[in-house]
C-alpha cells in the first residue's frame, strides 16, 4: 500500500512554518524530518507514524488511540502508529504533528 498523498499534503501544510523541515521516503511512507530527525510520517500502512519521547510512549498508548509501532515483530520504543480514522480532522492531525515536531526539535541535529 502506498502512503496517502492527501494525508502527506495535510502534514506538509502543518509543518510548513517550521524551520529545518525536510521530507524523505521512509518505512514505506513519506517522513517529515526536523533538522534530520523524523517527527511524523504518512505511513505506507495507512495513518501516521509519530516520534515521541520514549518515556511517554506507554502513557500515550493507554490514553490515546495510538499504538506502539512494531517493525519486524519488534516493538519500537518512542514510535507510535495512529490510524487514519484518528487523524481525520485538522485538530486531530495537528495534535500529533505538534507532538512529533516538538520531540524531534528537542533532539540534537543530525550531521550530514
Where along the chain do its domains lie? 5-106
Between helix 90-106 and helix 5-15 the angle, nearest 10°, is 60
Q: What is the distance, to the nearest Å, from the Cα of residue 71 to the centroid of all Cα atoms in its chain?
A: 15
Local confidence pLDDT in tens for the 112 residues of the chain: 689 999 999 999 999 999 999 999 987 899 999 999 999 999 999 999 999 999 999 999 999 999 999 888 998 889 999 999 999 999 999 999 999 999 999 999 998 6
* Grid coordinates of 75: 516493538
Alpha carbons 39 and 98: distance in angstroms, whole number: 9
What is the CATH number that goes with domain 5-106? Answer: 3.30.1460.30
Amino acid at each position: 500500500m502506498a502512503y496517502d498523498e492527501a494525508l502527506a499534503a495535510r502534514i506538509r501544510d502543518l509543518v510548513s512554518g517550521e524551520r529545518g523541515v525536510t521530507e524523505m521516503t521512509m518505512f514505506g511512507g513519506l517522513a517529515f524530518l526536523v533538522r534530520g530527525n523524523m517527527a511524523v510520517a504518512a505511513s505506507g500502512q495507512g495513518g501516521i507514524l509519530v516520534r515521541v519521547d520514549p518515556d511517554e510512549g506507554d502513557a500515550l498508548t493507554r490514553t490515546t488511540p495510538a499504538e506502539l509501532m512494531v517493525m519486524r515483530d519488534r516493538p519500537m520504543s518512542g514510535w507510535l502508529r495512529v490510524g487514519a480514522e484518528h487523524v481525520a480532522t485538522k485538530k486531530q492531525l495537528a495534535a500529533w504533528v505538534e507532538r512529533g515536531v516538538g520531540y524531534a526539535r528537542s533532539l540534537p541535529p543530525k550531521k550530514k
